[in-house]
Structure 1
Amino acid sequence: MKLRVLVTGGAGFIGSNLTKRLVAEGHEVTVFDSLLSQIHGKRPEVTSFLYQSVVDIAHVVVGSVTSRADIARVVPGHDVIVHLAAETGTGQSMYEIDRYVETNVGGTAKILDVLANSDHDVRKMVVASSRAIYGEGQYQSENLGTVFPLSRADQDMAAGDFEVTYPGAVLPLTLVATDESSRIQPSSVYGITKHTQESMVLTVAPTLGIAPVALRYQNVYGPGQSLTNPYTGILSIFSTLIREGKEINVFEDGLESRDFVFIDDVVDATYRAIVSNGADGLAVNVGSGIATTVTEVIAGLFQAFGKEVPVRVSGNYRLGDIRHNFAGTALAVEKLDFRSQISFREGVSRFVNWVDAQPEVGGEYESSLAEMRARKLLK
């Protein structure tokens, strides 16, 4: 059945790729996006690869989720809303607090308010959540069993001790997959807003006759990821440094890890959540289920680029960063029949091939670090 799908943030990294998949499958898509300059540049029609990829295949509406009028104008005539629009920088969220809360929480509230107080045809709402809601994630203790450590202490990291601890636990703790039943304890404003977003959608939507799904995306990467936005993740940042022949400053000891999931896999999981009812009413992890360290990321990029740059393991650290986290994926398999298909090695190769075809542009990474140092969030 042909669906009419509204994708907020539809010109973004995930949104544009999802839009292309939906259109290819025969669905009608409206892209609703503010075309934020931090992501798209000052002239999106020229500077944004992502915007250019959707403008000719979908109905594009420029507007903001912080404007109730804009939302009210764009919601009618759609069967499904995929809510991806959000401010996404974990570090930036710790000092741009009002903007993150206004966009992520306030924007979601406005969408739900419009749905609750107007006529519409929406029957499903998929919201993008994040692994950031889990904080440090799940571990096993030899003497306590399953534990969920709190954020690491500044004084410990200043002394070069980056591993997580737990009161009364015999060390070391063993990292295990963080599944959807794990404790919710975000360590950043961004994580708090994503948890609030998914909670509002999962709570309010059913009362309106709308089936909700929250997808807890892990670290998404791949072609189309911004190479200039310093808050998009280390693959983009490191790739820019490698192309410029500059040194890579590795925070902590380089052994911190994340679950990197390729964009095509994320789109596939999201598409399945849209067209099937298996995950209705649930929050579901979307990841590879594999922990990859920063050191392994650099090695993969060096191999894919066919060149290396100096690497300095500095011991710098950011307050609010987590040590490790990777997704438990059993629920995605059970409810969406979704399994990540693209290995990290293959995904990095595809990403680097795309990067090599892009013009070299200086990013804002160093200025973002200076901003965090000035606020005493980067040590």
Structure 2
Amino acid sequence: MKTKVLVTGGAGFIGSNLVESLINKVDEIIIVDDLSMGLKSNLPSSNKISFYEKSITDYKFMKELLVNERPDYIFLLGAVASVADSVAHPIYTHEVNQNANLFILETIRQNKIKIKKILFASSAAVYGDVVELPKRENSEVRPLTPYAIDKFATERFVIDYGKLYGLPTVAVRFFNVYGPKQNPKSPYSGVLSIISDKIINDKCFTIFGNGEQTRDFVFVDDVIHALLLLIDSDLALNTVYNIATGRAVSLNQVLSSYEIVTGKTLAIDYSTPRSGDIEHSLADISKITSLGFVPKYDITSGLAKYWQSLTDK
């Protein structure tokens, strides 16, 4: 039986890494991406891929695509990923990050499209400034920005559409993902891609604070492994999972590891802490590890593979 997969945001950082992994596992991959954040050059060349440069807010197009193609699996990765953009343009980002995904769910429901699994990409941003560590899926959520509000609301829509209408759904909360194809020049880029860019170009990196703030950094290959596990698991149904390593790493530790990996010394400027920055973040991943997920990369091995991808170009 042929397997057809739809990936929204498939030309972006995580989406394109997912597509690369899917190439040898499925028969057809449909990608919808307006390239506002992604790059078509991120995608592998394959006759299995059908690419549409469209916004997921083009509802006429999305309805026709879903009804005509009837994919087996859907990965909802398309989003305005910039928190700052969501603060500056809350209505626009709400349309992309929530309404467009709700429209996809409703189109599937109304047209009785038989789906094997729908996976929605949410974010650890939903936890906001909750002090409790580690963050568990049933921890308090305190979304502080339009981006975080939309991510949490949409994951609830995804989960409860599953419970109300019998759709097989699952949601994931990404922590600090890093790896190949992350764009350091984008305002929504992760800190590790920015550090990488500074090392490559021998520029100074600014740390806001003392560098002891911690994050749960997860290499993109581990993220893809988790997504594929959840999309296939009958146990991962109508619920949400943290995707991370379960290990906290300080920014100073990251810089030390990266200097060892690259053999270069990074110029650092310590500046005043930024108001609103979250000091510590750490995931409890016991829920997904109970399904067999084991992160393969620690910060050093992940950075080594990331650096190799940057220097092999």
- Maintained 8 Å contact 1:81/1:125: yes
1:325 is aligned to 2:281:
yes
Aligned AA for 1:113? Answer: E
Matches within 5 A, 1:308-323: 308-319=265-276, 321-323=277-279
Residue 318 (structure 1) shift:
4.5
Matches within 5 A, 1:58-137: 58-76=49-67, 77-137=70-130
Q: Return the alpha-carbon distance in structure 1 between the equivalents of residues 45 and 9 of structure 2.
A: 12
Matches within 5 A, 1:166-185: 176-185=133-142
Change over 3 Å in CA distance of 1:339–1:199 after alignment to 2? same
- Maintained 8 Å contact 1:138/1:182: no
- Maintained 8 Å contact 2:32/2:54: yes
Number of residues of Structure 1 aligned to a counterpart in Structure 2: 311
- Maintained 8 Å contact 1:16/1:54: no
1:299 is aligned to 2:256:
yes
Residue 283 (structure 1) shift:
0.5
Q: Structure 1 vs Structure 2: percent identity of aligned residues?
A: 30
- Maintained 8 Å contact 1:131/1:216: yes
1:222 is aligned to 2:213:
no
Q: Return the alpha-carbon distance in structure 2 between the equivalents of residues 30 and 295 of structure 1.
A: 41
1:188 is aligned to 2:145:
yes
Q: Which of 204, 209, 213 lines up with 2:170 in the alignment?
A: 213
Change over 3 Å in CA distance of 1:128–1:248 after alignment to 2? same
Aligned AA for 2:173? Answer: R
Aligned AA for 1:15? Answer: G
C-alpha RMSD of the superposition: 1.8
Residue 101 (structure 1) shift:
1.1
Matches within 5 A, 1:31-50: 31-36=31-36, 38-40=37-39, 44=40, 48=41, 50=42
Aligned AA for 1:352? Answer: W
Residue 180 (structure 1) shift:
0.8
Larger radius of gyration: 1
Partner of 2:14: 14
Partner of 1:341: 296
- Maintained 8 Å contact 1:136/1:325: no
Q: Which of 228, 236, 241 lines up with 1:284 in the alignment?
A: 241
Q: Which of 313, 331, 352 lines up with 2:307 in the alignment?
A: 352
Unaligned 5+ segments in structure 1 are 140-175, 359-379
Question: SS in structure 1 opposite 2:62?
Answer: helix
Residue 197 (structure 1) shift:
1.2
Matches within 5 A, 1:139-178: 139=132, 176-178=133-135
Q: Return the alpha-carbon distance in structure 1 between the equivalents of residues 195 and 250 of structure 2.
A: 14
Q: Return the alpha-carbon distance in structure 2 between the equivalents of residues 80 and 272 of structure 1.
A: 13
Residue 182 (structure 1) shift:
0.5
Unaligned 5+ segments in structure 2 are none
1:250 is aligned to 2:207:
yes
Residue 54 (structure 1) shift:
5.4
Residue 343 (structure 1) shift:
1.2
Question: SS in structure 1 opposite 2:83?
Answer: coil
Q: Normalization by structure 1: what TM-score?
A: 0.78
Question: SS in structure 2 opposite 1:254?
Answer: coil
Partner of 1:372: none
Residue 280 (structure 1) shift:
0.6
Residue 346 (structure 1) shift:
0.4
Q: Return the alpha-carbon distance in structure 1 between the equivalents of residues 181 and 62 of structure 2.
A: 26
- Maintained 8 Å contact 1:269/1:338: yes
1:204 is aligned to 2:161:
yes
Residue 93 (structure 1) shift:
2.3
Instruction: List per-residue Cα deviations over 1:259-287 (Å, max 9, x = no partner).
Output: 11111111011001111211111111111
Q: Return the alpha-carbon distance in structure 2 between the equivalents of residues 223 and 239 of structure 1.
A: 11
Partner of 1:364: none
Q: Return the alpha-carbon distance in structure 2 between the equivalents of residues 200 and 338 of structure 1.
A: 25
Q: Normalization by structure 2: what TM-score?
A: 0.93
Partner of 2:223: 266
Change over 3 Å in CA distance of 1:87–1:55 after alignment to 2? farther
Residue 23 (structure 1) shift:
2.2
Q: Return the alpha-carbon distance in structure 1 between the equivalents of residues 72 and 144 of structure 2.
A: 35
Aligned AA for 2:261? Answer: A
Change over 3 Å in CA distance of 1:112–1:56 after alignment to 2? same
- Maintained 8 Å contact 2:4/2:29: yes
Partner of 1:236: 193
- Maintained 8 Å contact 1:39/1:229: no
Residue 218 (structure 1) shift:
0.9
- Maintained 8 Å contact 1:65/1:110: no
